[in-house]
Amino acid sequence: NAGVMQNPRHLVRRRGQEARLRCSPMKGHSHVYWYRQLPEEGLKFMVYLQKENIIDESGMPKERFSAEFPKEGPSILRIQQVVRGDSAAYFCASSPPWRTEAFFGQGTRLTVV
Amino acid sequence: SQQGEEDPQALSIQEGENATMNCSYKTSINNLQWYRQNSGRGLVHLILIRSNEREKHSGRLRVTLDTSKKSSSLLITASRAADTASYFCATAKTSGSRLTFGEGTQLTVNP
């Protein structure tokens, strides 16, 4: 059973471009969470999704950020018109409905130049 | 308000010594979890303790939870150089809800 897969591992975007981060949860996991980590800091919650539903998006910036977890395919975190402040590591985690602990991917490191 | 604040921010010990990290939180919780993060990598789940539990063991790890003080501690016994990593506590208000992480403790175990 492969772990949580995130791609790409590293992403460089120029200011104003769009960034798309993908997350394939572990098999059988229907809950997906996205977190952002700035250097030397802890993880900050962004959004919690189940298949085709956003359950909690209280950590998502109101503009430019969106997330989806379609019926088929990976979860996508989309950042439009990126700015330097979006540079961070973005982690995806998944869990099955009956487990509380989360399983994390290796993260996508976004650099905005 | 910041939930899950770790103390100390950084800890440096010699191999074989014990390492203790503390975590405080502000709101009621369903469970508290500890994660490890090696430099540049994702987080690895270490141990979960529920709000009705006071102590839990897993190998060289011992976790305590004091809900009256809203605090938890993680003890790593007989530390090894491979334990060098950042350690984060995370709280969940309900089972399956989002996790709120602290800022972490950077542990360095010197060989």
Given CB atoms, is A42 within the 8 Å cutoff of chain B? Answer: yes
Convert the pLDDT of each residue in B75-100 to its tens digit. 999 999 999 999 999 998 887 788 89
CA distances (Å), origin B87, targets A90, B19, B39, B42, B51: 18, 11, 11, 12, 20
Give me the amino acid identity at A34. W
- Tokens describing residue A99: 């487990």
Listed in sequence order, the residues at least 6 apart from B62 whose beta carbon sits closer than 8 Å to its beta carbon are B55, B56, B74, B75, B77
Mutate to test the interface with A, among B24, B99, B105 (most CBs of A within 10 A): B99
Contact check, Cβ <8 Å, A33/B99: yes
Can you tell me the distance from the alpha carbon of B8 to that of B106, in angstroms, rounded to the nearest whole number? 8
Judged against a pLDDT cut of 60, whether residue A88 lies above it is answered with: yes
Cβ-Cβ contacts under 8 Å for A62 (sequence gap 6 or more) = none
Q: How confident is the model at residue A64 (pLDDT cuts 50, 70, 90)?
A: very high
**With the C-alpha atoms ordered A73, A77, A81, A83, is the resulting torsion angle positive or negative?**
negative
- In this prediction, residue A97 has a pLDDT band, given cuts at 50, 70 and 90, of confident
- Across the interface, do B42 and A105 touch by the CB < 8 Å criterion? yes
Q: Do A44 and B101 touch (CB under 8 A)?
A: yes
Which residues of chain A does B103 touch, with a Cβ-Cβ cutoff of 8 Å? 41-42
Residue B3 has pLDDT above 60, yes or no: no
For residues A2 and B62, the model is more confident at B62
Q: Which of A31, A59, A102 sits opposite B45 (nearest CB)?
A: A102
DSSP letters, A53-108, are: EEEE-TTS-SSSEEEE--SSS-EEEEE-S--GGG-EEEEEEEE-TT--S-EE---E
CB-CB contact of B18 with B79 (8 Å): yes
B-chain residues near A91 (CB < 8 A): 42-43
